[in-house]
Structure 1
Amino acid sequence: MANCAIQRVCRSIQTAATAPRLTRFALRPPKSIEVEFANGSAFNLPSEFLRVYSPAADSKIRSVGGEKVIFGRRHVGIMSAEPVGNYGVRLVFDDLHKTGIYTWDYFYHLGTNKFPLMKNYIKTLKKHGLSRDPRAK
């Protein structure tokens, strides 16, 4: 199990170190962003996925068994994207989360690992009896 964690870290470091130059960023509010890179890679990243894998921790994360789990974000939307230098953007979500800075390298990492990351997210939710859907008020 520790070996798998080490391999994931190594892949993440390698992906970040080899991420190609961003050539296009398009906000498609409220549900996604599109990014394209110099190597021809193009990704459509849904708002729920971006919110769940935000590079910032916030108070809406529930710690379950030592794991940080964000749940109930199926319908979250992106309100805006604010440039941060020449290296990324701050996404503002309609649940008022706005502290994560998404670098171009991080978008590449998310795009190239979208399906295994989403699969892991859903598996973690099921493991803890949580849902992608928001709780009824």
Structure 2
Amino acid sequence: MSGLTPDTPVPTGVVVHAVSRVLELQYANGNSYRVPFELMRVYSPSAEVRGHGPGQETLQTGKREVTITALEGVGNYALQPTFSDGHNTGIYSWDLLWDLATRQDELWAEYLDKLQAAGVDRDAPMPVSSPAHGHRH
């Protein structure tokens, strides 16, 4: 994951819209983007979702109804949301948030393709894995 580049815009305002389940990112130039919580959740940068290398990603499903219950800033470079499904290990850099905001259509398409390829329904509940049977290699 790339760190902050000098040209990554940092939002001047961040608003959690719990009812419509979007995170609104407002930028200094007057643009604002609404990033669905589901998109943020399925593209979480955490190891739990990303795995520890290519092909190790865990496809996230059943996240359509997920909401953000808390949002904390991490230094001046990222946000750490707590989702209603208990997931809170994702550190979302401004880079990633900008990416999610500006490439939503592409990312949705990619996600839906992955679901289709895996033969998994978008709303299927995630298999519950206890940490004891984790994917620790």
TM-score, length-scaled by structure 1: 0.76
Partner of 1:47: 37
Deviation at 1:67, TM superposition (A): 5.5
Structure with a larger share of its residues in strand: 1
Partner of 2:112: 122
CA RMSD, Structure 1 to Structure 2 (Å): 2.8
Does residue 108 of structure 1 match 2:136?
no
Q: Which runs of 5+ in 2 are unaligned?
A: 127-137
Moved over 2 A (4+): 15-18, 38-41
Partner of 1:5: none
Does residue 26 of structure 1 match 2:15?
yes
TM-score, length-scaled by structure 2: 0.76
Partner of 2:73: 83
Deviation at 1:61, TM superposition (A): 7.3
Q: Which runs of 5+ in 1 are unaligned?
A: 1-11
Deviation at 1:134, TM superposition (A): 3.3
CA distance in 2 between partners of 1:21 and 1:78 (Å): 20
Aligned length: 122
Percent identity over paired residues: 34
The one-letter code sitting in structure 1 at the alignment partner of 2:89 is: T
The one-letter code sitting in structure 2 at the alignment partner of 1:117 is: L
CA distance in 2 between partners of 1:56 and 1:120 (Å): 18
